[in-house]
Amino acid sequence: MNKKIITTDKAPAAIGPYSQAIEAGGFVFASGQIPVDPATGNIPEGIEAQAKQALTNVRNLMEASGLSMENIVKTSVFIKDMNDFAKVNEVYATFFDNDFPARSCVEVARLPKDVLIEVEVVAAR
């Protein structure tokens, strides 16, 4: 199997033994993106701002892969509180045109750096 490591300084650096993204078999598998501003290391307040930053990090990672948000075929969204589902959807919808990827969204007990959201994607070349 041929695989390519994808990295960018426009998304948070890996904080463990993993890659930001891997391309293999015509797909890009991106690690979960949390809402850390890669330029400052800051985490914005509130679910809407955190969702926007996490998805901006996803978009930047896609661009580093030579792709766009339109190439994403599957997303996994992890949120701290399912009561934020509607707010997350509002922000999420602004990052895609009409053809939304398949998606799962689950509430989790805790996320890295105690953020409110993490977004993981798979894109097709």
Q: Evaluate whether 20 touches 28 at the Cβ level (below 8 Å).
A: no
- 22, 69, 105, 122: the catalytic one is 105
Active site residue 105: yes
Write out the DSSP string of 42-102.
---SSHHHHHHHHHHHHHHHHHHTT--GGGEEEEEEEES-GGGHHHHHHHHHTTS-SSPPE
Q: How far apart are CA 77 and CA 119, in angstroms?
A: 5
What are the residue numbers of the active site? 105
